[in-house]
Amino acid sequence: MKSISLYEERASFVHDVDPITKLWYILFAILIPIILPSFTISFLFVGISLVLLLAAQVIRKTIPVFGFVFLILITVVIIQGMFKPENETVLFQIGPLTMYKEGLLYALTITLRVINIIGAFMILILTTKPSDLVESLVRKGMSPRIGYVISSVFQIIPEMMSSMGTIMDAQRARGMETEGNLLVRIKAFLPLLGPVVLGSLINTKERAMALEVRGFNSQVPKTYLYEEKKYRYSRALQIAMLLLTVTALAWRIFL
């Protein structure tokens, strides 16, 4: 079945780290550059994230994501470089367009921040099974109902898409035109909505009943098929990140 999850199965120490520690890392990687806003720190964190992605052998999967993000960042660079109100120092000129130093430096800060945040999230998303993440959150006290909603989305959406394909085929078999110019395609799309939406509603009702009889609303404390995923150094990593954050705060306040 086609999956909409980006998880990549690999054998690496990054994959072995438990999801909670990865969540900590996201927070850590976002907080520190805010506390200590220097280029060195930002570059350092982008570097760490990239090294971790490399170590996890998932760097190739990040290319389309970064590609998309760069598209947006380019507009930031252009707009800030040309039009930031504090712009004074002319860096270079291309025809009538002038790029200023202040704007470009500011754009660089934003770019580094964005890449840093995306990188930290990619570590979590590419190296953690969605079900593992949800399970560890439920163990930490998140409601199992919310957990169910999150993890079922990864399967129900592709299912809905495949049932949409079936309905579209059935309608094509009865002579509906589904290919051609935009207008034809929009016309073909409208009659799809009824069956897909109603069908999903009916399925949802039946699924809700099936969940009920399988004790979904049971008040008994839940147990788990798998043992909790534990990484040997996760406690140490978490404490280290906490200490570094405190140190960074102290540095910022007192020095």
User: Could you tell me how many residues of this chain bind other proteins (CB under 8 A)?
Assistant: 35
Binding mask 114-153 for other proteins (x = CB under 8 A): ---------------x-x--x---------x--xx--xx-
Binding segment for other proteins (CB under 8 A), chosen from 35-43, 60-68, 176-184, 217-225, is 217-225
Q: Is 167 in the site for other proteins (CB under 8 A)?
A: no
Binding segment for other proteins (CB under 8 A), chosen from 11-19, 179-187, 219-227, 237-245, is 219-227
Secondary structure in 3-state letters for the chain: CCCCCCCCCCCCHHHHCCHHHHHHHHHHHHHHHHHCCCHHHHHHHHHHHHHHHHHCCCHHHHHHHHHHHHHHHHHHHHHHHHHCCCCCCEEEEECCEEEEHHHHHHHHHHHHHHHHHHHHHHHHHHHCCHHHHHHHHHHCCCCHHHHHHHHHHHHHHHHHHHHHHHHHHHHHHCCCCCCCCHHHHHHHHHHHHHHHHHHHHHHHHHHHHHHHHCCCCCCCCCCCCCCCCCCCCHHHHHHHHHHHHHHHHHHHHHC
Q: Is 216 in the site for other proteins (CB under 8 A)?
A: yes
Q: Is 201 in the site for other proteins (CB under 8 A)?
A: no
Tracing tokens 């035109």 back to the chain, one arrives at: 177
CB of 126 to other proteins, least distance (A): 17
Binding segment for other proteins (CB under 8 A), chosen from 32-40, 68-76, 206-214, 230-238, is 206-214
Binding mask 73-92 for other proteins (x = CB under 8 A): --------------------
Q: Given candidates 173, 220, 253, 255, which one binds other proteins under the rule CB under 8 A?
A: 220
Q: Given candidates 54, 110, 170, 208, which one binds other proteins under the rule CB under 8 A?
A: 208
Which residues form the interface with other proteins (CB under 8 A)? 1, 129, 131, 134, 144, 147-148, 151-152, 155-156, 159, 202-203, 206-225, 227
